[in-house]
């Protein structure tokens, strides 16, 4: 996962200048060094003075030998110049990035371009979610500011944001196909003390549709015991998402962990319908995250993995 590069919400970005508690997520920067220029200096050929030529014995000044000597010197200088130019060219190419050499550009692996990510500031005196002093695993920052922003070029799903950024429980439950699943899950959310849901969605130019739901509860123990353990099975999710008839554990998802975050990912197995669905579930302290991605034909693995990892980093 990459050059996973890395979006800042206006309000979150503004706080980075005044609040020392803002934690930027660093993005790798690629710097291409300039090509060094090699300069070859060729010493001038010194011709003897006319007086010396006139007074020297004829036997020591063979015209034919002089011409041969000058020709040899000219060819030696030319070889030296071409050698220097060739060395400079070779040095320049080996010092360049592969993508800077014409004809050798590496194709994109499908990752999306996200602006720099910045964690929102914590209220004064509040610990980080996985600090030793935070026994409840609570996220004290605004949950809406912990949502992964949309990548560049994507169209926002305004229906998920709502007027105040909070999503109704019924809108979240609409992601599930079976009525009995929705009824059971609704009761489970009530019994578990669901506080609120923050959501964001977008569609990229290739037709990939992403939805992210962050559900916040009172403590990390509620998430781990009630949702992370009961609502997720190892081989397949307990509740069927719309469009995902047969979802299986995604064994190809990279085993890269974010401290404090438990993750389970699933992919719809072939044969699937017009769209393929990928889904991931995160247990992050008092937050339970659901990430869904669908695309006509097939949902690509790389942007899905990138989305899950970046959202995990924001919650960590």
Phi-psi label, residue 52: left if phi above 0, alpha if psi -120 to 50, beta otherwise: alpha
Q: Record the pTM.
A: 0.68
CATH of 123-315, one of 3.40.1000, 3.30.70, 3.30.450, 2.60.40: 3.40.1000
- From the list 301, 313, 315, 316, the residue with the least C-alpha distance to 114 is 313
Measured CA to CA, the distance from residue 307 to residue 18 in angstroms comes to: 29
What is the domain partition of the chain in residue ranges?
123-315
Q: What is the pLDDT of residues 81-121, one digit of tens each?
A: 444 444 443 333 333 343 444 433 445 678 999 999 999 99
How far is residue 35's CA from residue 125's CA, in Å, rounded to a whole number? Answer: 51
CA 299 to chain CA mean position, Å = 17
pLDDT tens per residue across span 159-208: 997 668 899 999 999 999 999 999 999 999 999 999 999 999 999 999 99
pLDDT digits (tens, 9 = 90+) for 123-162: 999 999 999 999 999 999 999 999 999 999 999 999 997 6
């Amino acid at each position: 996962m990459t050059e996973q590069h890395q979006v800042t919400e206006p309000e979150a970005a503004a706080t980075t200048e005044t609040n020392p508690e803002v934690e930027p997520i660093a993005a790798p920067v690629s710097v291409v060094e300039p090509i060094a220029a090699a300069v070859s200096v060729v010493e001038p050929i010194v011709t003897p003075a006319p007086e010396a030529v006139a007074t020297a014995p004829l036997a020591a000044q063979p015209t034919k030998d002089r011409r041969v000597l000058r020709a040899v010197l000219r060819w030696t200088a030319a070889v030296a110049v071409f050698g220097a130019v060739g060395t400079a060219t070779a040095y320049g190419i080996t010092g360049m990035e592969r993508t800077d050499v014409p004809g050798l550009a590496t194709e994109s692996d499908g990752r999306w371009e996200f602006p720099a990510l910045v964690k929102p500031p914590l209220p004064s005196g509040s610990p980080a979610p996985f600090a030793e002093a935070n026994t409840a695993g609570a996220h004290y920052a605004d949950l809406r500011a912990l949502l992964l922003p949309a990548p560049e070029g994507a169209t926002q799903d305004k229906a998920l944001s709502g007027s105040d950024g909070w999503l109704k429980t019924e809108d979240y439950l609409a992601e599930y196909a079976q009525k009995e699943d929705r009824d059971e899950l609704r009761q489970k959310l009530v019994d578990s003390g669901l506080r609120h849901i923050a959501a964001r969605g977008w569609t990229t130019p290739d037709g990939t549709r992403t939805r992210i739901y962050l559900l916040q509860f009172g403590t990390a123990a509620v998430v781990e015991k009630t949702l992370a353990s009961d609502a997720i099975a190892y081989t397949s999710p307990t509740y069927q998402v719309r469009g995902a008839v047969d979802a299986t554990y995604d064994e190809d998802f990279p085993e890269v962990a974010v401290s404090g975050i438990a993750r389970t990912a699933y992919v719809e197995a072939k044969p699937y319908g017009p769209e393929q669905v990928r889904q991931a579930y995160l247990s992050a302290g008092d937050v339970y995250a659901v990430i869904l991605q669908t695309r006509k034909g097939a949902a690509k693995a790389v942007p899905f993995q990138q989305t899950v990892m970046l959202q995990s980093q924001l919650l960590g």
